[in-house]
Chains A and B, each alone.
Chain A
Amino acid sequence: MLALQGSFALHAASLERLGVHAVEVRRADALEGLDGLIIPGGESSTMLKFLLEEDLFDPLLAFHRDGGALYGTCAGAILLASEVSGPSQKSLGLLDIGVRRNGYGRQVHSHAATVSCRALGEPELPVVMIRAPVITRIGSGVEVLASHRGAPVFVQSGRLLATTFHPELTEDLRVHRWFLRLASLA
């Protein structure tokens, strides 16, 4: 769990319910021995500042290169993306997608819905979008697992997973379970 800022404690609670203990990562040395890392929802500009100024940016790239799985939620998806607009900002560039920050608008446009997701089966997946980004481009090798209002909201590529919605705000644990399998933890 990247614990610089945001909804990391809620992600940790979801993992605990699946019987997995989450470690809070605030410094690069805490990445050692981990199989997967969740980059939570929060403010992407705040988290990015920490990544750049506290020497976490390159260690995260190395973590992925050495076999670590990464899952980015909302702000975390922005940090994983290869291309960020609205406005543009630096990112890890690991996942070949384009995202537009606050793509639905300000808080009054935050909303919830359910979407169909073949990978996770029935029932439909609840999606809670909080000042969410919109995925505007999908690169080759990126698989779309669910879409909402015509745009992908749940994508995967190799050991990388991203959602623009917040499963940590719901009781539905299927996305977390999916990530644990990706990280070979379940």
Chain B
Amino acid sequence: MSTEFRLKTGLADMLKGGVIMDVTNAEQARIAEDAGAVSVMALERVPADIRRDGGVARMSSPTKIREIQEAVDIPVMAKVRIGHFAEAQILEAMEVDFVDESEVLTPADEANHIDKHAFAVPFVCGCRNLGEALRRIGEGAALIRTKGEAGSGDIVEAVRHLRKIRSQLRRISFMDDDELMAESKELRAPFEIVRRVAREGRLPVPNFAAGGIATPADASLCMQLGAESVFVGSGIFKSADPSPRAVAIVKAVTHYQDPQALVEISMGLGEAMRGLDTASLPPEQLLHLRGN
């Protein structure tokens, strides 16, 4: 691994065991920092609102991002549209700490993702399976997250994606090199990365969970399924009382293996976001099908 790439994955390593919270303005960013978030993700609208209001979802305005950067001392991430390298260049010039090339925003390029090696700022990308994760890593992503189904409050897709990656990792770790070449064609991922991952039995970058986390129990579930941190979007600021819920999810990630602690953490939080059953959504409304 090059030194430059180590610096990128190094920041992801420091965010492990933490919660990254979606925020749209400085006030929400301060609530997130006070609740113990390890980082905030700046975006124009939280996914549940994007879903409700429709229209084109773009990178947050630089004015808002600057306002958020000035409001908090924890790392600030921001989302760009898939393939929109000019938005990413702007975020890099603003010294954003991490760029999320995200399916939650309206894709700018239906064929290509951003060449992330060309940037000094690290990138995080979503995935549903191992092949997609390794393609993004091949393009230079320093952190992988499950796509889940953003803005739904339904954990089922994040679970599907975590389990899928885990079982695919197990499967390839038993393969020898001649099988791995065929497998890399199947996965549509670079052979060298597939071989390395098969040898080590793990992804070469940290793996976080996102998309549908609404309760402390959801956070614990994702951590127990192998996620090293969680992103929470609409789950906090679309709940009845964001601040205590934010604190509870932070604590749930640290104490994810301790059901007794989770009882206490989950008490008195008010209503979780209402949510949408993703099984009832038509394919054109599923954000996780964007990008591949």
Contact = CB atoms under 8 A, between A and B. Distances in A.
Contacts of A105: 95
A49 B258 CA distance: 19
A128 B95 contact: no
Given A49-B36, A107-B11, A131-B75, A8 B17 contact: yes
Contacts of A107: 11, 75, 95, 97-98, 121-122
A117 interface: no
Contact of B92 (A5, A42, A108): A108
A130 B39 CA distance: 14
A32 to B, nearest CB: 17
Interface residues on A, range: 35 or more
Nearest to A169: B10
A4 B121 CA distance: 26
Contacts of B225: none
Contacts of A110: 7, 10-11
A131 B11 CA distance: 8
A160 B148 CA distance: 43
Nearest to A49: B36
B74 interface: yes
Contacts of B97: 106-107, 131
Contact of A128 (B6, B38, B251): B6
B120 interface: yes
B33 A6 contact: no
B3 interface: yes
Contacts of B3: 112
Interface in A4-36: 4-10, 26
A41 interface: yes
Q: Which of B13, B18, B75, B253 has the most CB of A within 10 A?
A: B13
A169 B13 contact: yes
A65 interface: no
A41 B14 contact: yes
A1 to B, nearest CB: 11
A105 B255 CA distance: 31
Interface in A116-168: 128, 130-131, 166
Contacts of A26: 254-255, 258
B14 A130 contact: yes
Contacts of B96: 106
Given A45-B74, A50-B254, A102-B73, A6 B6 contact: no
Nearest to A166: B10
A43 interface: yes
A7 B122 contact: no
B11 A112 contact: no
B33 A45 contact: yes
Interface string B13-52: 1111110000000000000010011110000000000000
Per CB-CB distance, the 7 closest pairs between chain A and chain B, nearest first, are A107-B97, A5-B17, A43-B38, A49-B36, A106-B95, A130-B10, A46-B36
Interface of A: 3-10, 26, 41-43, 45-46, 49-50, 74-75, 86-87, 101-102, 105-112, 128, 130-131, 166, 169
